[in-house]
């Protein structure tokens, strides 16, 4: 059990750490540090010793909680702290009075805010807040903030009683239908200024019912503008989580009624946006309660709302805004195991702080947990994952009941981009069902012809009504529409569940080949586009590829290729590209033809860029490219060919195109939120392939395997005839490292690093992996490392390192290691003086962690050590940061590496820290100094560089008298120093002579030891023999160093004579 003194020291350090985090604006870390300090105080054997410090910690934590709008804990912490201060015998010190004043003020503010969000209104909280403020003013009558808050509290308390606030007046005017438009705008402006207080007051005074009444207005005199304003007001108020949970959750049926009676698309989209807010704020867990399967979302109401909105979109010439709003609603509802990350991403740009928002634990927080806390944390995470999976399954099954409406809307839509988005969302929803057999059972009724489906139920004889039968026939979907539905389902399955998609093509969808041919020949753009989607997706699935090959062989795909619609052409072109690349007999000319086709599709980028920006401005999270996306998909397949890499780097462009293909790719990656787009992974993959040779990619694939690439190739050649070996040799890739380096230089000039940095923002794990791989490969080219720094690559990699989220996946562990390696490569040769302080100091931690990573390669360790050595030359701030990050112990560990280069780099890294007092303290330990002297005297050819660094470090360190005394006390001091002097290596002799000179300069026992061990006599003999250099095989460098060592020996002899 630690002593009370030690616990108090720990608590004080936690207070200092918390203050530092608070100063940086990192409230989460500050709360964690203050909490750890409170725990340390609670462990005191004599709690009274730490009562003042604990009160301070509680007060500081309350301040953080208040800023996070975590109000109840703020009140609790302030109350606990005030109780501790009341028990102290010396209560009237200036420090104690100041702290009590702050605590009363913080509790007053929290209580006042709580009084505004409580339901019903709790006037007692406002009264308690006023009492606390009066106590503050008793202690400090000049406290301006307390005076202002007291005025506000009294005013608010009065308004609660008189209902004379602007919000109350506006709501009353709406009830009286007095100048409705003006008062709606007034409420909207009030919400924009203070959404938290105004929204809660709006709920308390019954404003929700009034606004919904305006929104469901019907009749000839209905004002669409008023409906839109009322829904916008509700949506803005719903951005405040507490309002949404308290006042909107039970209004889901009202939203459904609004969608049913809406006069235009704006009203429907606004209603659906409010529904999305309910899902984001109400359909998630309370962090203070256990995980359950309960939800406040009314599934039946939600699905009916979706169905009504889709029906409206069909009846209004397929209003794409409404369809996209429905897709956002469905995606949010069925987020599955990604629920928390989906919610955090959706609320990322919100100006309102929500303390109930689930925040993943960092690795640091997890490591700090007690065994009991860790077990609880893991159980909660498991329960959450289990529940989210069950919810996704349940909601996916329920959606399938309304899938017919979804399909009808999709196939009727003439906007190919929106239809593709619907295809993607449908695929995700079906994938939530997980089990292949269950998915098949869900889709098989749609894949079979309902007219030919055998009826197995009881037949009841009815009177034949010819008019009714004719009406049924007219309402029955046409043959083409049914085929389009099957194509859409198949395309969605090929995107999300390839095996089930292949089943659909080969057996689930009867006569699939014939019906796809019918779609191609239908002359209907919608049908042809769906056929194009199916063949493009099928070309990626090996066991379904033959179906596409047959269509190509028969010439049917030519119809799609000759279509006037670019989206139709792009799918067919993509399918042909995939088939061509899967066929090893495809020649160079055909590959260039496919590249030409892909570049033509890229030319549609300008138009689709505007579509993407428009969608983002309207707040839609789901959007899809068509032509550009297809082009990127094709190039992703083609770029594995060396000739394609060279052509792209050399500026390949389609005929009459104003920009090169590489420029188009960079521009696409530079779009806002490009990392979140469907093409992000393809773009990152293209760039990383261009930055490497195929041989390098193959070697990387064999890393960590039991055999190397060379061994595998040798095994493959066994049993081959000489002719077969010659054919294999002729087919080898001709790409060279020099050609790859030239490509990298051209990529840097084309701003590819900047594009990669943009892609990394908000990207998925796999896109982030491809992006970091690209930057790491580019950093291997020394000449463009300055470009990488200028275009943000270094800062982006540091940012990846700082993203210390929850328990990392295998992919993120790899990404983090690669990001650290990229930082190392960039900083090996970059002048640290050219970096900003944030870049220079921010790079040190990831480099140290890479050095300590036992799963890192020897190359990664070596380059990280070289980079840290380079950074340490920047000055004391860099050296201090290295020491703080436990760099010395990390370097010391690497000095025992089996790799001689790693050992040398670690020695040099420590040598550069010798000016730091921590390094000198390290060397004063006998075991460490003994090891360094042994390293210095081990100057065989293989270890010479390391010995030179070690002896140089000792030469500098012995300027410190304590290190010098410890050195002469070593048992092998004389043997090792004499060994260096007699090594015949002038560089080592020079360092040993400096050590001797430093020892003499200290005098005393150091000087006596040098003389007693005969080291001065060696110097005298060396000076006398200096002129006899005939026959000595010295290099040019050593010849210039010889007079330096002789002069130094002379000074040592003179120094010894003076001392004696």
- Residue 251 and residue 208 in contact, taking contact as beta carbons nearer than 8 Å: yes
Instruction: Tell me if 190 sits within 8 A of 107, measured CB to CB.
Output: no
CA distance 172 to 185: 14
Domain 166-287+294-333 has CATH 1.25.10.10: yes
Which token pair is 570? 């792009």
Mean pLDDT of 655-661: 84
pLDDT digits (tens, 9 = 90+) for 538-591: 888 888 888 888 888 888 888 888 888 878 888 887 787 777 665 555 567 777
Q: What is the pLDDT of residues 841-884, one digit of tens each?
A: 999 999 999 999 888 889 999 999 999 999 999 888 899 999 99
- Give pLDDT, residue 828: 94
Note the pLDDT of residue 617: 39
Place of tokens 């500050």: 30
pLDDT at 387 over 80: yes
What's the count of helices (H) and strands (E) in the chain, helices before strands?
Answer: 61, 0
Report the CATH fold assignment for 406-451+478-583.
1.25.10
> For residue 153, what pLDDT is reported?
80
Q: Where are the domains of the chain?
A: 4-162, 166-287+294-333, 406-451+478-583, 588-709+736-781, 914-1059
Cα(260)–Cα(243) distance, integer angstroms: 25
| Fold equal for 4-162 and 406-451+478-583 | no
pLDDT of residue 439: 92
Mean pLDDT of 1020-1025: 84
Report the pLDDT averaged over residues 706-710. 81
Q: How many CA atoms, within 13 angstroms, populate the side-chain half-sphere of residue 87? A: 14
- 753 pLDDT band, cuts 50/70/90, is very high
Coil, strand, or helix at residue 264?
coil
Q: What is the mean pLDDT of residues 137-164?
A: 74
CA–CA distance, 952 with 989 (Å, rounded to integer): 10
Digit-coded pLDDT (tens) for 92-122: 566 778 888 999 999 999 988 887 665 555 5
Provide mean pLDDT across the span 1005-1027: 85
More confident residue, 613 or 773: 773
* pLDDT of 622 above 50: no
* C-alpha to C-alpha distance for 1030 and 863, rounded to whole angstroms: 42
Report whether 912 contacts 869 (CB < 8 A). Answer: yes
Q: Of 404, 63, 120, give the one whose Cα is nearest residue 247.
A: 120
Q: Which candidate, 175, 238, 252, 177, places its Cα nearest to that of 210?
A: 175
Buried residues in 559-576 as b, exposed as e (16+ CB within 10 A): bbbebebbbbbbbbbbbb
Task: For the beta carbon of residue 1043, count every other beta carbon within 10 angstroms.
Answer: 10
Q: Is the pLDDT of residue 688 over 90?
A: yes
- pLDDT of 807 > 80? The answer is no
The pair of structure tokens assigned to 295 is: 């939800």
Which pLDDT score is estimated for 372? 87
Distance CA 278, CA 295 (A): 11
Query: What is the rounded average pLDDT of the residues 381-399?
Result: 89
> How would you write 376-401 as a 3-class SS string?
HHHHHHHHHHHHHHHHHHHHHHHHHH
Which residues fall within 8 angstroms of residue 372, CB to CB, at 6 or more apart?
none
Q: Which of 857, 688, 649 minimizes the C-alpha distance to 766?
A: 688
State the CATH architecture for 914-1059: Alpha Horseshoe (1.25)
Of the CA atoms within 13 Å of residue 269, those in its CB half-sphere come to 16
| Alpha-carbon distances, residue 722 vs 359, 424, 585, 734, 1034 (angstroms) | 63, 50, 21, 21, 52
Measured from the Cβ of residue 207, the count of other Cβ atoms closer than 10 Å reads: 25
What phi and psi, each to the nearest 5 degrees, are found at residue 2?
A: -65, 150
Q: CA Rg, the chain, in Å? A: 37
501 token code pair: 């998609």
User: What kind of architecture, by CATH, is found in domain 4-162?
Assistant: Alpha Horseshoe (1.25)
pLDDT of residue 244: 87
For the segment 63-82, what is each residue's pLDDT rounded down to a tens digit?
999 888 888 899 999 999 99
The Cα 469–Cα 464 span in angstroms is 8
Question: CA 822 → CA 704, 798, 850, 931, distances in Å?
Answer: 20, 10, 11, 32
360-to-29, 283, 377, 380 alpha-carbon distances in Å: 13, 17, 11, 12
DSSP 163: -
Out of 7-11, 150-154, 602-606, 694-698, least confident range: 602-606
Between 1007 and 219, residue with greater pLDDT: 1007
Average the pLDDT over 463-484 and give the result: 59
Distance CA 517, CA 548 (A): 11
CA gap 811, 168 in Å, rounded: 54
Spatial contact of 793 and 753, defined as CB atoms under 8 Å apart: yes
Would you say residue 146 has pLDDT above 80? yes
Judge whether residue 1023 has pLDDT over 70: yes
Write out pLDDT tens, residues 427-462. Answer: 999 999 888 999 999 999 998 865 554 433 333 344
The pLDDT of 627-656, averaged and rounded, is: 85
Longest dimension (CA), the chain: 133
Considering the chain, what is the average pLDDT of its residues? 83
Task: Give the pLDDT confidence score for residue 106 in this predicted structure.
Answer: 93
Q: Per-residue b/e over 169-183, b at no fewer than 16 CB within 10 Å?
A: ebbbbbeeeeebeeb
For the stretch 943-982, pLDDT in tens is: 888 888 999 999 999 999 999 999 998 988 888 888 888 8
What is the mean pLDDT of the segment spanning 900-924?
91
What pLDDT is recorded for position 163? 55
What is residue 1035's three-state secondary structure?
coil
pLDDT band of 408, cuts 50, 70, 90: very high
Q: Is the pLDDT of residue 347 over 90?
A: no
Would you tell me the crossing angle of helices 416-431 and 403-412 to the nearest 10 degrees?
160
Q: How many Å apart are CA 335 and CA 125, to the nearest integer?
A: 38
Out of 283-292, 399-408, 989-998, which region has the weakest mean confidence (pLDDT)?
A: 283-292
CA–CA dist 900, 22 (Å, integer): 45
């Amino acid at each position: 059990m630690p002593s009370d003194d030690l616990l108090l020291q720990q608590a004080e350090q936690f207070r200092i750490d918390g203050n530092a985090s608070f100063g940086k604006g990192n409230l989460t870390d500050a709360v964690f540090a203050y909490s750890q300090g409170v725990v340390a105080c609670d462990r005191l054997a004599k709690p009274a010793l730490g009562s003042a410090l604990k009160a301070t910690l509680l007060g500081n934590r309350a301040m953080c909680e208040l800023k996070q709008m975590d109000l109840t804990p703020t009140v609790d912490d302030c109350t606990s702290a005030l109780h501790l201060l009341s028990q102290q015998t010396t209560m009237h010190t200036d420090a104690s009075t100041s702290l009590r004043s702050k605590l009363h003020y913080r509790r007053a503010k929290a209580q006042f805010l709580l009084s505004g969000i409580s339901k019903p209104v709790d006037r007692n909280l406002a009264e308690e807040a006023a009492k606390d403020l009066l106590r503050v003013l008793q202690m400090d009558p000049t406290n301006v903030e307390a005076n202002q808050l007291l005025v506000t509290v009294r005013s608010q308390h009065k308004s609660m009683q008189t209902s004379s606030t602007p919000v109350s007046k506006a709501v009353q005017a709406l009830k009286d239908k007095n100048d409705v438009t003006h008062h709606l705008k007034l409420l909207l402006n009030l919400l924009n200024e203070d959404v938290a207080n105004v929204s809660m007051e709006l709920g308390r005074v019954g404003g929700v019912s009034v606004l919904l009444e305006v929104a469901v207005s019907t009749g000839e005199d209905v004002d669409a503008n008023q409906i839109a304003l009322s829904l916008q007001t509700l949506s803005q108020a719903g951005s405040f989580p507490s309002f949404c949970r308290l006042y909107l959750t039970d209004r889901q049926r009202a939203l459904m009624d609004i969608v049913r009676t809406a006069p235009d698309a704006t009203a429907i989209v606004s209603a659906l946006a409010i529904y999305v807010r309910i899902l984001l704020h109400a359909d998630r867990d309370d962090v203070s309660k256990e995980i359950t399967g309960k939800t406040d979302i009314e599934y039946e109401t939600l699905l009916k709302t979706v169905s009504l909105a889709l029906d409206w979109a069909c009846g209004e010439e397929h209003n794409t805004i409404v369809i996209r709003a429905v897709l956002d609603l469905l995606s949010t509802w069925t987020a599955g195991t990604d629920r928390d990350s989906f919610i955090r991403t959706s609320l990322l740009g919100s100006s309102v702080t929500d303390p109930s928002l689930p925040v993943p634990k960092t690795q640091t927080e997890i490591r700090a947990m007690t065994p009991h806390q860790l077990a609880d944390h893991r159980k909660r995470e498991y329960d959450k994952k289990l529940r989210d999976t069950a919810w996704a399954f349940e909601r996916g099954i329920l959606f399938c009941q309304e899938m017919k409406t979804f399909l009808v809307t999709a196939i009727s839509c003439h906007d190919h981009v929106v239809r593709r988005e619907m295809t993607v969302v449908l695929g995700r929803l079906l994938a939530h069902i997980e089990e292949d057999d269950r998915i098949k059972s869900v889709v098989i009724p749609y894949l079979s012809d309902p007219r030919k489906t055998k009826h197995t139920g009881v037949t009841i004889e009815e009177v034949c009504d010819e008019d009714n039968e004719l009406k049924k026939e007219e309402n029955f979907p046409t043959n083409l529409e049914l085929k389009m539905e099957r194509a859409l389902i198949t395309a969605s399955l090929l995107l999300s569940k390839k095996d089930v998609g292949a089943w659909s093509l080969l057996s689930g969808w009867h006569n699939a080949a014939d019906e796809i041919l019918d779609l191609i020949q239908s002359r209907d753009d919608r049908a042809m586009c769906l056929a194009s989607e199916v063949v493009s997706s099928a070309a990626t699935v090996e066991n379904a590829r033959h179906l596409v090959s047959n269509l190509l062989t028969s010439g049917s795909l030519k119809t799609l290729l000759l279509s006037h619609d670019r989206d139709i052409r792009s799918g067919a072109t993509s399918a042909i590209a995939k088939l061509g690349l899967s066929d090893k007999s495809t020649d160079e000319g055909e590959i260039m033809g496919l590249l030409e086709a892909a570049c033509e599709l890229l030319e549609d980028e300008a138009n689709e860029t505007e579509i993407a920006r428009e969608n983002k401005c309207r707040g839609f999270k789901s959007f899809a490219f068509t032509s550009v996306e297809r082009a990127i998909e094709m190039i992703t397949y083609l770029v594995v060919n060396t000739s394609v890499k060279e052509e792209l780097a050399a500026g390949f462009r389609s005929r009459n195109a104003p920009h090169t293909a590489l420029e188009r790719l960079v521009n696409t990656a530079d779009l806002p939120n490009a990392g979140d787009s469907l093409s992000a992974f393809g773009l990152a993959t293209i760039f990383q392939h261009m930055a490497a040779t195929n041989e390098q990619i193959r070697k990387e694939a064999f890393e960590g395997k039991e055999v190397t690439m060379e061994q595998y190739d040798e095994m493959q050649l066994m049993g081959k005839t000489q002719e077969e070996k010659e054919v294999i040799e002729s087919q080898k890739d001709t790409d060279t490292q020099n050609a790859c380096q030239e490509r990298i230089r051209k990529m840097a000039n084309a701003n590819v690093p900047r594009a990669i940095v943009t892609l990394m923002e908000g990207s998925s794990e796999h896109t982030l992996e491809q992006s970091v791989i690209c930057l790491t490969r580019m950093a291997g080219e020394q000449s463009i490392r300055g470009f990488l720094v200028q275009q943000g690559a270094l800062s982006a990699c540091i940012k990846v390192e700082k993203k210390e989220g929850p328990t990392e996946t295998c992919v993120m562990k790899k990404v983090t290691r690669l990001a650290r390696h990229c930082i190392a490569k960039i900083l090996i040769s970059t002048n640290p003086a050219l970096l900003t302080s944030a870049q220079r100091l921010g790079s040190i931690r990831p480099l140290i962690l890479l050095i300590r990573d036992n799963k890192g390669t020897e190359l990664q360790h070596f380059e990280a050590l070289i980079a840290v050595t380079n950074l340490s030359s920047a000055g004391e701030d860099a050296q201090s940061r290295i020491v703080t990050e436990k760099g010395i112990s990390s370097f010391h560990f690497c000095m025992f590496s089996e790799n001689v280069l790693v050992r040398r780099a670690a020695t040099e890294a420590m040598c550069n820290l010798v000016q730091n007092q921590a390094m000198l303290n390290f060397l004063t330990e006998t075991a460490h100094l003994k090891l360094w002297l042994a390293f210095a005297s081990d100057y065989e050819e293989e270890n010479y560089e390391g010995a030179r660094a070690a002896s140089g470090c000792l030469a500098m360190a012995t300027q410190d008298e304590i290190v010098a005394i410890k050195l002469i006390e070593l048992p092998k001091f004389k043997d090792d120093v004499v060994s260096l002097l007699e090594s015949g290596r002038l560089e080592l002799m020079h360092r040993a002579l400096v050590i001797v000179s430093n020892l003499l300069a200290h005098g005393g026992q150091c000087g006596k030891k040098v003389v007693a061990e005969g080291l001065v006599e060696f110097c005298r003999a060396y000076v006398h023999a200096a002129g006899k250099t005939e026959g000595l095989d010295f290099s040019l460098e050593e010849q210039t160093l010889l007079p330096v060592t002789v002069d130094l020996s002379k000074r040592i002899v003179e120094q010894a004579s003076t001392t004696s």
